[in-house]
Amino acid sequence: MLSLKRQDEILEILNKNKSATVEELAAELFVSGATIRRDLAQMEKQGLIKRSHGGAIPFLSSAEESPFIIREQENTAAKRAMALIAYQLIKNGNSVFMDSSSTVGFVIPLLDNLKYLSVTTIGIRNALLLSQTNNIKIYLAGGQIRNHSNSITGTDTIDYISRIHADIALLSCTGADVKSGFTDADIEQSKLKRQMRANSEKVAMLCDSTKFGKTFMCTDFTFDDIDYFITDKTPPAEFMERLKKSKCKLLSAAMDKPI
């Protein structure tokens, strides 16, 4: 099979299934894994796909959200470092909001060290992770189940969240930019995060350094809207200047004592 024809078929598979591993593509197209990897490298340079850990997804515009299974496997070291910081903001007896992100999900295993928590989430996967812990009351907001993202959204979900008060909301984003603030690819996710903020005493934004300088379709918050900016590396100079002008506190894994 000619490489261009094979790459067309790869793109068709990715658009249909939203993601695929190298092994799956190799089996489907009857070629070696090395051949698939070369194809994916070429296709990524052309802006057709985005390679991920062990596979690929179609190139996403700023109005699309990547599948949860792909996001869960990306930047795991940074997510663990941020989770350790976020965990220290939670106290025994707190009520906590968690979005559906894989980033926030890394905090969940640490919560076994706390008692009498109540956690409300809009993420199916995060709710399942919470169910494996002890001493936590778990609430999963109702609404529409979003395909490929493990998210629950819609007006019913917003209504549910609006009736709950939290001590702290742990949230993530898709992009962070000095001018645009914190943005997401999905308008429904953005609405829910703003509702969580409205019903929380404090808001912690978990944002790894790969998201710096990126802007997506929907604005979640400005720097003035959040209390803690948790990241894995020291932000660029323009971010530091913006943080100085806001009430937001920087908590970075690159700092000796972030908290």
β-pairing verdict for 200-206 and 228-231: parallel
pLDDT at 77: 84
Q: What is the pTM of this model?
A: 0.73
Say whether both 21 and 124 belong to one domain: no
For residues 242 and 118, state if they share a domain. yes
SS3 228: strand
Report whether pLDDT(105) > 80.
Answer: yes
pLDDT tens figures, 36-84: 999 998 887 766 788 877 888 876 544 444 454 555 556 688 899 999 9
φ, ψ for residue 119 (rounded to 5)? -125, 130
Whether residue 232 sits in one domain with residue 136: yes
Last residue of a domain, one of 36, 59, 82: 59
* Residue 195, in any domain of the structure: yes
Tokens of 251: 């908590």
Please tell me whether residues 198 and 245 are part of one structural domain.
yes
Q: What pLDDT digit, counting tens, does each position of 115-146 carry?
A: 999 999 999 999 999 999 988 999 999 999 86
Q: Where are the alpha helices (DSSP H) in 88-204?
A: 102-105, 124-130, 155-162, 187-198
- 87 domain residue, yes or no: yes
The CA distance from 132 to 172, in Å, is 22
Tell whether 65 is covered by a domain: no
Is the same domain home to 97 and 20?
A: no
Q: Alpha-carbon torsion 84, 136, 72, 199, what sign?
A: negative
The Cα–Cα gap between 231 and 215 comes to 17
Encoded tokens for 39? 């194809």
Domain that holds residue 28: 3-59
**Are 54 and 95 contained in the same domain?**
no
Q: What is the per-residue pLDDT for 73?
A: 52
- pLDDT given for residue 148 in this prediction: 64
Residue 61, pLDDT score? 45
Could you tell me if 135 and 207 lie in one domain? Answer: yes
Q: What is the pLDDT of residue 62?
A: 42
Give pLDDT, residue 92.
97
Beta strand pairing call for 20-21 and 55-58? antiparallel
- 92 with 20, same domain: the answer is no
Contact between 70 and 34 (Cβ < 8 Å): no
Asked if the structure places residue 50 within a domain, the reply is yes
Is residue 259 included in any domain, yes or no? Answer: no
Domains contained in the chain, number: 2
| Residue 29, domain CATH | 1.10.10.10
Domain identity same for 7 and 107? no
Q: Are residues 109 and 185 in the same domain?
A: yes
Same domain (yes/no): 241, 142: yes
Count of C-beta atoms within a 10 Å radius of residue 113: 12
Q: Residue 218 in contact with residue 186, Cβ under 8 Å?
A: yes
Position 66 in a domain: no
Q: What's the confidence (pLDDT) of residue 236?
A: 94
> Given a cut of 80, is residue 147 above it in pLDDT?
no
Q: Of 29, 59, 89, which closes a domain?
A: 59
Residue 147 lies in a domain: yes
Q: How far apart are CA 41 and CA 109, in angstroms?
A: 35
- Among 30, 59, 88, identify where a domain stops: 59
Angle between helices 3-17 and 33-45 in degrees, nearest 10: 80
Q: Is residue 112 part of a domain?
A: yes
114 and 81 together in one domain: yes
The average confidence (pLDDT) of the chain is 88
